[in-house]
Structure 1
Amino acid sequence: MDTGVNVVGSGQVSGTPDVLRVSLGVEHAAPDVASAVARVGERTDAVMAALRGLGIEESRLGTSAVNVYQDYREPDSAPAYRASHTISIETGDLTGFGELLNAAVDAAGNSLTLHGLQFDIEDKSALLVQARELAFQQAKEKATHLATLAGFSLGAVSAISETQGHFPIRAEAMAGKAAAYDSALNITPGDHTVSVSLEVHFAWGA
């Protein structure tokens, strides 16, 4: 095993979100699978059209999941099947959530659910560079201190391992069926934090 000191440094940098990601669900139950699938498809298309009408770009709008399963019913009840689609939306308009949700509710009515929303930073590369620099600086300061305590000088770096993390602002809710939302409804994002941890091995100096 190489002699030296192994330390972990961490760095965190915060930035202002520039993208809102929303996850919506559309579902429908019917006595047979074909009807459930057909009806949920129609309502999903209606929601998609409404969102396009708000200016959501095609590349930022799509179906991310499709499910069909037997719906739970009381014993001796007629069987039913539930189909559901999950729609993923991205937008740079951080203040238009109320208008977006209203349009989806108008299009799908009681079939719509809101799975959640998340504020994020689309390009985190600059924040990662800053966090990495802070993490390495902390690791070197720790290693220098430990080397001094042990009576050694610090040598060259012989290994580095990196772990990244980020902490977007999230909110979870369920859409209240066909109830209308105030189109002025604003959810204000806080800072988004990017974190980098570095495990660094320093050899002892000559």
Structure 2
Amino acid sequence: MSVVGSGQVRGLPDVLRVTFGVEQVAADVAAAVDAVGRLSDAVVAVLRGQGVGEGQLETSGVSVFQEYREPGTDTAYRASHTIQVETKDLTGFGALLNAAVGAVGNSLALHGLQFDIEDKSAMLVQARELAFRHATAKAEQLAGLAGYSLGSVTAIAESQRGFPMQAEAVSALGKGAYDSSLNITPGEHTVEVSLEVLFAWA
């Protein structure tokens, strides 16, 4: 008999990941790339000034493409650089945002933020235990309904999911489009494990 059990464990996040974007439009590729490079350097510099370390910053995307425009208008190219910041300071989002906006103004986009738990190993252990108990209870009930006795476990297959807390993306941030006292709420992070357990008959 094959049954599926699931277990969920909730925990408080200890990591905040923020994704910033810098975009510029110019008449040629070189100018667009050069502008984005200078603006990106400015954003990285102010983030470092906020205490963000070397290993907490990474480029998560770079693109350059020709913008679609109506026939007869000048050709333009858009370059973008996406930077992800990881911090353990869950209350420091406002300061990071203020610093980045102050550095590049309307060229900044906020693509999103995500709370997470860095080490989920203990949560996964607990979720597996809950999932196995759930599967066993279901199997015992089904076996009883069918008039059989439950035997030993012959196979187990696992799948797991994490549900990090996320916020939606915001773009085109102007210098007046943010609140220096902006507060965000981490909420809880959920880890779910599903176990497909195969039992033999006794």
TM range (shorter): over 0.9
Aligned twin of 2:112: 116
Once residues 79 and 43 of structure 2 are traced to their aligned partners in structure 1, the CA distance between those partners, rounded to angstroms, is 16
Aligned twin of 2:190: 193
2:176 counterpart of 1:179? yes
2:62 to 62, 66, 70: 66
2:43 counterpart of 1:47? yes
Deviations 1:45-86 (A, max 9, x none): 110011011001110101111000001222200100010011
What secondary structure is seen at the aligned counterpart in 1 of 2:78? strand
Unaligned segments of structure 1, at least 5 residues: none
- Taking structure 2 as the reference length, the TM-score comes to 0.96
2:151 to 155, 159, 164: 155
Aligned twin of 2:96: 100
Once residues 74 and 171 of structure 1 are traced to their aligned partners in structure 2, the CA distance between those partners, rounded to angstroms, is 34
Aligned twin of 2:129: 133
2:79 counterpart of 1:83? yes
Q: What percent identity do the matched residue pairs reach?
A: 67
Once residues 111 and 153 of structure 1 are traced to their aligned partners in structure 2, the CA distance between those partners, rounded to angstroms, is 68
What secondary structure is seen at the aligned counterpart in 2 of 1:188? coil
- Taking structure 1 as the reference length, the TM-score comes to 0.94
Tell me by how many angstroms 1:180 deviates. Answer: 5.5
Moved over 3 A (4+): none
Unaligned segments of structure 2, at least 5 residues: none
Once residues 70 and 44 of structure 2 are traced to their aligned partners in structure 1, the CA distance between those partners, rounded to angstroms, is 34
Aligned residues, how many?
Answer: 201
2:139 counterpart of 1:146? no
What secondary structure is seen at the aligned counterpart in 2 of 1:189? coil
Once residues 59 and 100 of structure 1 are traced to their aligned partners in structure 2, the CA distance between those partners, rounded to angstroms, is 16
What secondary structure is seen at the aligned counterpart in 1 of 2:51? coil
Tell me by how many angstroms 1:156 deviates. Answer: 1.1
Amino acid at match of 2:124: L
